[in-house]
Amino acid sequence: MINSPLMTVMVDAVRKAARGLKRDFGEIENLQVSRKGPGNFVSAADRKAEEVLRDALMKARPGYGLIMEESGTIEGTDRSHTWHVDPLDGTTNFLHGIPHFAISVGLERDGQIVAGVIYDPAKDELFIAERGKGAFLNNRRLRVSGRQDFADALVAYGTPYLGRGSHGRLLKEVAAVMAVSGGTRRLGSAALDLAYVACGRTDLYWERDLQTWDIAAGIILVREAGGFVSSADGGAEPLAARSVACGNEVLHRELIGLLRKAAA
């Protein structure tokens, strides 16, 4: 486990925000059968969680900037540090009462992600990483999968939302990966997709048309677990590209090749 002051701040903030999400998730089943539906309720839950995170992080590190899904950007006096905050990653799952969603907080320092926390409240799984200190799930050290044969690999991917991204390109990419992999999964939370690669539950993951708060924490998790992370096109800067591909060295290289071939 990592016991640094920075990680203490991040974990405390995430756990505080999770209390409200756990309570609100318990109400979703009732709202599903109501005429109005749970949409407005979930939006309120999302905003409340973000407020808790923002207040906790600003209190602990008052000079740091924030980039947040709901509230946008808050410039800090400390230009070197920026939090990337997603209070509810997997909103559609949450909306439908599916217990697969997470809170994600990543810290960027001078252009590099140096720490990340992803917390799955439904399963009480806390994924943490800090540069040079490793990645952990609760108290267990994480390593990416060691599989070398793509035919054995379980590959996760994300789909673009309606009106955003290229569904046609994705269908070509998925077809190429399905033809040679051991299986594919679309789970509905970019943060947890990255965390699952870090802990070896899945071997690979790729997705396009993302935001920095979707992937900031997961990038450092995968890297500290010994994995390779790039943009979906193979570039070195997934945050700038707003896309991601990750896995161990061998499978990541093969995945990038398949995605490039599908786009040709």
Could you tell me if 88 and 62 are in contact, meaning their C-beta atoms sit under 8 angstroms apart? Answer: no
Instruction: Tell me how far apart the alpha carbons of residues 76 and 62 are, in angstroms, rounded to a whole number.
Output: 8
Q: For residue 69, say whether it is annotated as part of any ligand binding site.
A: yes
* In the block, residue with structure tokens 């109400």: 27
Partners of 81 in the beta sheet?
109
User: Which residues are CB-contacts of 128 (< 8 A; sequence separation ≥ 6)?
Assistant: 1, 2, 7, 10, 11, 116, 117, 118, 135, 136, 221
DSSP string, 137-193: ETTEE--------GGG-EEEE--PPTTSS-HHHHHHHHHHHHTTSSEEE--S-HHHH
- Quote the tokens at residue 123: 């399963």
User: Is 46 part of any known ligand binding site?
Assistant: no
Residue 214 counted as an annotated binding residue: yes
Is residue 219 within 8 A of residue 239, CB to CB? The reply is yes
Instruction: Give the residue ranges of the annotated binding site for Mg(2+).
Output: 69, 86, 88-89, 214
Instruction: Give the residue ranges of the annotated binding site.
Output: 69, 86, 88-89, 214
